[in-house]
Amino acid sequence: MENEKMQVNFAPGVTEAELLGLAGYLEKARELAGTIGSVHEFLLKRISEKEQINQKRCYILVDREKMTLKLVTNETDSRNKATVRGELKYYPKFLEFGINTSKTWEPVQLSKFFKMNRAFFKDAQYNMELVTVLKNFKASIDSKVENSRQDNGSRTDNYSQVVNSNLPASFNLIVPIFKGRPAEEIEVEIIADVDGRNIRLSLCSPGAEVIVEEERNKAIDEQLLLIRKLAPDIAIIEQ
* Alpha-carbon Rg for the chain in angstroms: 28
Tell me the residue ranges of DSSP E strands in 110-238: 139-149, 155-165, 170-176, 183-195, 198-204, 235-238
Instruction: List, for residues 100-145, the tens digit of each pLDDT value.
Output: 999 999 999 999 999 999 999 999 999 999 999 898 876 544 444 4
Q: Residue 19 pLDDT more than 60?
A: no
What amino acid occupies position 83?
A: T
List, edge to edge, every strand of the sheet that includes 183-195.
Answer: 170-176, 183-195, 198-204
**Neighbouring-strand partners of residue 204:** 189
Using pLDDT thresholds of 50, 70 and 90, give the confidence band for residue 162. very low
> Do strands 183-195 and 170-176 pair parallel, antiparallel, or not at all (unpaired)?
antiparallel
Using pLDDT thresholds of 50, 70 and 90, give the confidence band for residue 237. very high
Tell me the residue ranges of DSSP E strands in the chain: 31-35, 59-63, 68-73, 82-87, 139-149, 155-165, 170-176, 183-195, 198-204, 235-238
Instruction: List, for residues 51-74, the tens digit of each pLDDT value.
Output: 889 999 999 999 999 999 999 999
Which residue did the predictor score with more confidence, 18 or 53? 53
Distances (CA, A) of 174 to 91, 105, 110, 184, 232: 12, 21, 18, 5, 38
CA distance 224 to 207: 26
Residue 200 three-state SS: strand
Which residue did the predictor score with more confidence, 146 or 187? 187
pTM: 0.69
Which residue did the predictor score with more confidence, 226 or 158? 226
Residue 159: per-residue pLDDT: 42
Residue 142: per-residue pLDDT: 45
Instruction: List, for residues 169-221, the tens digit of each pLDDT value.
Output: 899 999 999 998 899 999 999 988 877 678 889 999 999 999 999 999 999 99
Element (H, E) at 219: helix 206-230
Q: Name every residue whose Cβ is closer than 8 Å to that of residue 15 and which is 6 or more positions away in sequence.
A: none
Residue 178: per-residue pLDDT: 94
- Residue 213 CA to its chain's centroid (Å): 12
